[in-house]
Amino acid sequence: MALAKEIMGISLVEKSSLISSSKVFLNPNFYQKENQLCVGRQFQGRRNLRTRRVLRQSTMAAISENLIKVVPEKAVKFKVRAVVTVRNKNKEDLKETIVKHLDAFTDRFGRNVALELISTDIDPNTKGPKKSNQAVLKDWSKKSNLKTERVNYTAEFVVDSNFGTPGAITVTNKHQQEFFLESITIEGFACGAVHFPCNSWVQSKKDHPGKRIFFSNQPYLPNETPAGLKSIRERELRDLRGDGTGIRKLSDRVYDYDIYNDLGNPDKGIDFARPKLGGSNNVPYPRRCRTGRVPTDTDMSAESRVEKPKPLYVPRDEQFEESKMNAFTTGRLKAVLHNLIPSLMASISTNNHDFKGFSDIDSLYSKGLLLKLGLQDEMLKKLPLPKVVSSIQEGDLLKYDTPKILSKDRFAWLRDDEFARQAIAGVNPVNIERLKVFPPVSKLDPEIYGTQESALKEEHILGHLNGMTVQEALDANRLYIVDYHDVYLPFLDRINALDGRKAYATRTIFFLSDLGTLKPVAIELSLPQTGPSSRSKRVVTPPVDATGNWMWQLAKAHVCSNDAGVHQLVNHWLRTHACLEPFILAAHRQLSAMHPIYKLLDPHMRYTLEINALARQSLISADGVIEACFTPGRYCMEMSAAAYKNFWRFDLEGLPADLIRRGMAIPDPTQRHGLKLLIEDYPYAADGLMIWAAIEGWVRSYVNHYYPDSAQVCNDRELQAWYAESINVGHADLRNAEWWPTLATPEDLISILTTLIWLASAQHASLNFGQYPYGGYVPNRPPLMRRLIPDENDPEYAVFHADPQKYFFSALPSLLQATKFMAVVDTLSTHSPDEEYIGDRQQPSTWTGDAEIVEAFYDFSSEIRRIEKEIDDRNADTRLRNRCGAGVLPYELLAPSSDPGVTCRGVPNSVSI
């Protein structure tokens, strides 16, 4: 259809040669009346690059021929109008209000906002970009007091009839205060309205003297850039890169790299010093956004910290928009971190007791926790706290919402089948593997960590295999493992030396039943070997008596604690947040805003740099929430770096590759997604493969539209620079790894982009938004453990034997640790009201000028809606016992849409929390 439109457009242009010159150039209304005659690039679709070039050449030839016939000796001037949409702040402080009124006053006297259009053509006189006259926004002073969310201002340009198509616009802010420019639309050109999606803060000229540049929504590959835009395209990228020096101001828009050298604060003492992550082979790590702060007084290689609540630098356009800031992350998380947690500590620390029983935990949801609030804490009741802690009512009671894990069956977490189900349908369903050999073997150096031999024996599990031998179960793909032995063992000596922390390196063996459900059959608990004859490994199996039952519950709790640490530090933080940051930095530095791949990636980069900066400041920093609440304590980020060094591979981060790596699927071209799941009812994988296929299909349509052959990929200098910099600078410590995919063909590009979009959207969602629904009930998923499991020779065994429930709760996090953790993970599990979900786009009709791409995106959106319906149907299918049954939670973490709040569903476009 698009091809037909383009051919029809050519014939219309050819017919337009019959129109007299006076009608074309002396009647300015002609440009609005004859929009249908325009075959400009602004809104025409293209089937492929070759067709587009041929049509463009023939079109331009026709137009040129007509111009030769009808252009008068002197070009005629006519007016075009700009509609400029500015987004107001909902709340202003006193200083902002005063400056706003001052700007409104001085706007009348020339301290205004000025615009300048730039053509896609070269000015034959200056040999530079062809520019219009400067126009100023009208009615700024009159509209300054409007309380609406958006205000539309207008400006008028006078341009020559040979100006050409506008491709860029500059904005100069002569006011004192920045403003958020959402979009600009130019009306009056023959090709119809020209859209400029801006979505950016425009700084005052006193802060940034240069003009801000915005490009139209028409995408261009670098070698197709119109002559009038080439130098501007290059200059804009240079400005965004900066020069790698200087302390960044919050108003800057500079994207650069640094190592993680700001997690500790050695000036506060040795307990607050932390190793630098990145920049070495021993402790490799992805790069973060550079802030350029001065070094600490104590350690010149450590960057000084900006302590909460002062903000860390991220480029201005990466900071949360006001609706996000107020409704969710910055406002609520800071309220929790800076106000609620200190109040919890003041109320509980003097009597930081253990939970005495299940009723103590239940009371957090039913009765609430009494806070000892003073007058200075009255403001706490007025803060934008998350829903879970919004019930700080009269009497200073803090009530938590009941986590979803308790919603259908409050005792579900005690059952073995639920413990196993969460390995494939919980908040961390990405560590389970098919067991290939029994007993499992460690990959750690035996000279450092002792024997690699497992304590697991055939007799431990033989009675739980439905009459099968171990080898038969292996051959039938019926044995699975969650193995944290090699992740934790190198750190256990240091972890167990911490006050109030005790951990094992665990392995859990599962058997796949005939019904398609898993059951745990053995748990191996390992400690570092202290001597040649030391007993460092033990195996716990399903109980046959009362004592064994409590041992089994403690063993499962230690497995869950291991799982919580790996989930948070490796799968959630490292593999989605940290490893994506270099690709985002490189995209802003190397891909122009008019590059089609930048336009594709843009919604999947939203807010990630800001949330990562907030995490460095308050969550993963020394004495931050993660250290305080998770078993590894001060060694959390070292464990994350070890996983990056030993485990992370970009080529295996896509869902199909990851499932094959873990032995959870095998290639099978006869299956729906080219894979056969070995556990058919594996909710994360089954739902994830549908979303993966939808993303891949959308990306394939997009890439093939712009890159019909490998030459186009190889010759795209911006694209190649982006990918090379992402690896060689952003992931510099692993840049020499042989597993990095090449970028030489359209298929390479499709694979890389699909992986990035998957990680930013569905993978992150599956790991993040179930944190409170599953972890908000601490016994189900304790983030840390404080006691080991005693054996009969231990002094603590008598205490355990006398009151096993009391011992169990003394091993779980304390009341203060639990309530801090619950408040934070509730915030991290909350969707903000302005969330943009997969299949959605801000300004869907104007983000690109390619009509075929818009059509392809709507197809993608429709497929996402279909997937959501299929997920709902699966959750109602009683044959799928891992997501449907009495007391079983449906698996909705990959259901694409969600309401605001803690919903345990919803797939946002980006890593935004």
Q: What b/e readout covers 494-523, taking b as 16+ CB neighbours within 10 angstroms?
A: ebeebeebbbbbbbbbbbbeeeebbbbbbb
> How many Å apart are CA 138 and CA 157, to the nearest integer?
12
CB 601 within 8 A of CB 753: yes
Q: Quick one: average pLDDT of 242-258?
A: 94
Query: Measured between alpha carbons, how far is 179 from 196 in angstroms, rounded to an integer?
Result: 16
DSSP state of 729: I
Q: Which of 158-167, 376-385, 547-556 has the highest mean pLDDT?
A: 547-556
**pLDDT > 90: percent of the chain:** 73
What the block records as the tokens of 816 is 């203060």
Query: Active-site residue 913, yes or no?
Result: yes
**Percentage of the chain surpassing pLDDT 70?**
86
Per-residue pLDDT, averaged over 288-307, amounts to 95
Backbone angles phi, psi at 774, to 5 degrees: -100, -40
pLDDT at 242 over 60: yes
Name the CATH superfamily for 77-218: PLAT/LH2 domain (2.60.60.20)
Q: What is the pLDDT of residues 457-471, one digit of tens each?
A: 999 999 999 999 999
How many whole angstroms separate alpha carbon 223 and alpha carbon 591? 13
Mean pLDDT over each residue of the chain, to the nearest integer:
88
Q: Which of 577, 604, 673, 705 is catalytic?
A: 577
Residue limits of CATH 2.60.60.20 in the chain: 77-218
End-to-end, the C-alpha distance of the chain in Å comes to 41
Name the catalytic one among 265, 571, 704, 768.
Answer: 768
User: pTM for this one?
Assistant: 0.90
Considering only CA atoms, which of 492, 498, 873 is closest in space to residue 690?
A: 873
CA–CA dist 251, 307 (Å, integer): 19
pLDDT for the residue 100: 81
Residue 299 — very low, low, confident or very high, per pLDDT cuts 50/70/90?
A: very high
Indicate which residue of 572, 595, 604, 673 is catalytic: 572
CA neighbor of 745 nearest in space, from 710, 719, 797: 710
Q: Is 572 a catalytic residue?
A: yes
326 tagged catalytic: no
Q: Is the dihedral of CA 547, 549, 550, 551 positive or negative?
A: positive
Instruction: Give 354-375 pLDDT, tens digit per residue.
Output: 898 999 999 999 888 877 665 4
CATH 3.10.450.60 in the chain: give the residue spans: 431-570+783-813
Strand runs (DSSP E) across 572-623, as ranges? none
Range with the poorest average pLDDT among 18-32, 457-471, 674-688, 771-785: 18-32
What are the φ/ψ torsions at residue 131 (nearest 5 degrees)? -120, 150
- Mean pLDDT of the region 491-518: 97
Question: Mean per-residue pLDDT for 429-451?
Answer: 94
Look at residue 1 in the predicted model and tell me its pLDDT: 43
Task: Please name which of 898, 322, 388 lies closest in space to residue 610, comparing C-alpha atoms.
Answer: 322
Task: Give 908's DSSP letter.
Answer: B
SS3 content of the chain, % helix, strand, coil (to 5): 45, 15, 40
Question: Which position among 588, 595, 764, 831 bears the catalytic label?
Answer: 764
Task: Identify the residue whose tokens are 């009348």.
Answer: 108
Q: What's the rounded mean pLDDT across residues 328-333?
A: 53
Residues 14-41, mean pLDDT to the nearest whole number: 35
Residues in Cβ contact with 644 at an 8 Å cutoff, skipping those fewer than 6 apart:
284, 285, 286, 574, 578, 579, 734
Q: Which range among 42-51, 356-365, 384-393, 642-651 shows the weakest confidence by mean pLDDT?
A: 42-51
For residue 726, pLDDT beyond 80: yes
Longest CA pairwise span in the chain (Å):
105
Instruction: Please determine, looking at this structure, whether the domain spanning 431-570+783-813 carries the CATH number 3.30.1490.20.
Output: no
577 belongs to the catalytic site: yes
* pLDDT given at position 23: 35
Q: Are 69 and 17 contacting, i.e. CB atoms less than 8 angstroms apart? A: yes
Please tell me which residue in 118, 750, 757, 913 is annotated as part of the active site.
913
